[in-house]
Amino acid sequence: MQLYNTLSNTERAALIQQAGKDRLTISFYKYFKITNPEALRNQLFLFWNRIDVLGRIYVAHEGINAQLSIPADHLDAFKSHLDTIDFLKNVRINIAVEHDLFSFLKLKVKVRDKIVSDGLNDATFDSSDIGTHVNASEFNSLIEDDNTVVVDMRNHYESEIGHFKNAVIPDVDTFRESLDLIEEDLKDHKETKKLVMYCTGGIRCEKASAYYKHKGFKNVYQLEGGIINYAREVAAEGIENKFIGKNFVFDQRRAEKISEDVIASCHQCGEPADIHVNCANDACHLLFIQCDPCKQTMENCCSSNCMEVNRLPSEVQKSLRKGQGNSNDIFKKGRADHLPHKKDLRNVFETLSKP
């Protein structure tokens, strides 16, 4: 019984090209107590592999988190299969604003401890006791209320290229960092302020809303379906778009354009830019923002040192990397010290200073 990929990225990309079919990039999540994640993992892999589903899926005792690429003509079969699984029947599926044939090139269904790493070890915390979901129109009304604090639950490199107007943007590298930081900054407003959160597709806000209710916040809201669903509702219903820039996504596309604004800058020269790239030096692989002129000048690298290494024959590069592990820069997500124009965010809750 095959429960693993047998094709390389190059081989898969060639097959997708030859098939000539449109593919959709979609995502969904569901918090639910799963007794046997391994059995569900195997069930999903076997069926999805047959209908050419690709993507990254995490299954845990607390639920499932899936980001997928699927042939458009297999979407109905995919949904029908989900409906055979009780807790996934009629689950909301986020369909991307922009699609790419190659957004995913492998099917990876993994069993994890959690579907969102949160660092929480509180046995009294009930992740099903969530806040109030709001649609795009309701969200727009809420964030115009002076008694509202709207918080971006994503990491700094995501919000750097796009965020909602007047949103609080925590200066964090991980979701787990933001939970305690936000609670501390808003501890005096648990009963008076409306806490409105958003993230990419809703999964982080879902857990955060339950966490903040557990911590005593009385008025907790989250954007239904996250930025992905918001963008689709805005376009379909003619609602005012209050998101500026791009929505960072975790696949080969890296981002979806929500508005025409470019709010970030190249980390090397400081000119307007909002395209994330990985340093071409595999020993570095730093994720950072690079404009086209710098991409050409720096040969797709983040520094002169990386550029020199990347010019070496591949076998020499491999020998240099042997036993070294990844550079620590890979974890800095665009904060590396050698980037002169890296974004230096400040976690200032300016919303609270409104009269």
Q: Are 317 and 282 in contact (CB under 8 A)?
A: yes
Cα 17 from Cα 238, distance rounded (Å): 35
**Residue whose structure tokens are 């597709």:** 201
Nearest to 12 by CA among 121, 104, 142: 104
Query: What are phi and psi for residue 87, nearest 5 degrees?
Result: -75, -10
Cα 81 from Cα 79, distance rounded (Å): 5
Q: Are 277 and 287 in contact (CB under 8 A)?
A: yes
Q: Are 171 and 256 in contact (CB under 8 A)?
A: no
What the block records as the tokens of 192 is 């008076």
Residues in the chain: 355
Rounded to the nearest 10°, the torsion over CA 85, 127, 26, 109 is -70
Spatial neighbors of 225 by CB under 8 A, at least 6 apart, are 92, 94, 201, 202
What the block records as the tokens of 323 is 């036993």
Annotation marks residue 199 as catalytic: yes
Query: What are phi and psi for residue 57, nearest 5 degrees?
Result: -130, 130
Spatial neighbors of 231 by CB under 8 A, at least 6 apart, are 97, 241, 243, 247, 256, 258
Cα 156 from Cα 130, distance rounded (Å): 24
User: Catalytic residue numbers?
Assistant: 199
